[in-house]
A and B are shown apart, each in its own frame.
Chain A
Amino acid sequence: MTAAKPPDNGHRRGVASLPTNPRLLPRRVSVVLGWSTLAALALLTLFGLWGAPPDAVQGDAQRIMYLHVPAAWLAYLAFTVTSVASLLYLWPRTRSTVWDLLAGASAELGVVFTGLTLLLGSLWGRPVWGIWWAWDARLTTTAVLFFLYLGYLSLRRIPASVETRAKRCAIAALIAFVDVPVVHLSVNWWRTLHQQATVFNPELNPRIHGVMAFTLWLGVVAFTLVYVYLLDRRYQLAVLEEDLEERELDAAIAQRVAEAPSPRPAGVHS
């Protein structure tokens, strides 16, 4: 009978591989950012509901655009950050757990913003198109994007060593990102019920002006502040939970080793 070996823990480097500082931003900056975000959202509500004039064709229903479009752009931004962080993780010279945790945090926010985009689009589509949903190219590719990154978040929850999880999730994130330009260009590639791009159209000639353009950009600024604030908070949570998980795993391994039968003295045979 041989002595019990410690359980194989793969390529674990434990708590030491985690960033010591669980914050992306200094605490004071985060507090100021939080209040600035609330102020920007309040201003957006004022301009979106009262400041901007109703649309000549769609009437007041078009006001939903001031939430729907920024939510969609922020989803693109969040998934871009996830992809860049994933690339930095895969690149051996820049490999760090920080990039993996940042990618995961940003992907979760991207899913929130994509879900919001779909919900707001549906609420806008009903009064304007007369339907809640259509299997239109833009809507369908956006739904695919939502489910691709839900899959990515599920992949992150599959138990594995930090390195294994980070590597396979980084590859999955880069594959999922292929859908982002498809979503954006879908209105140019196919005939769709969804209107063509108003700002980032092929001619790069924005078809929105005055107070309406101002309100749209205000929405983009407000949602960007929301994103940066939440990314900082979500990253902090990711570091803390990773730390906790590593400690629990270390404790479980130590317990298994302690419980294993000790090796028999030399010369004693069963």
Chain B
Amino acid sequence: MSDVGYIAAAWSATAAVLAAYVVRVAVRTRHARRSLPDDDPRR
């Protein structure tokens, strides 16, 4: 693999890891918020 390949892999891996983490946190937050009662102040 050329230098360009390694650079592309590095940038793609960083974007994929961060995006996957953001999505995971967003999905869990949505699920937790929906599971709480309507009158919960933290909802």
Known: A241-B28, A243-B40, A247-B36. A61 touches B18 (CB 8 A): no
Known: A116-B17, A127-B3, A226-B18. A233 touches B42 (CB 8 A): no
Q: Is the interface of A mostly helix, strand, loop or mixed?
A: helix
- Contact-residue bracket for chain A: 35 or more
A56-B23 Cα distance, complex, nearest whole Å: 39
Q: Which of B17, B22, B29, B33 contacts A115 (CB 8 A)?
A: B17
Known: A230-B21, A241-B28, A247-B36. A20 touches B41 (CB 8 A): yes
Interface CB pairs A-B, < 8 A, 19: A20-B42, A45-B11, A61-B3, A67-B10, A115-B17, A116-B17, A123-B6, A123-B10, A127-B3, A127-B6, A233-B25, A233-B26, A237-B28, A237-B29, A239-B42, A240-B32, A240-B33, A247-B36, A247-B37
Apart from A68-B10, A119-B13: 14 A-B pairs, beta carbons within 8 A: A21-B42, A49-B7, A115-B17, A123-B6, A123-B10, A123-B13, A127-B1, A127-B3, A233-B25, A233-B29, A234-B25, A237-B29, A241-B28, A244-B35
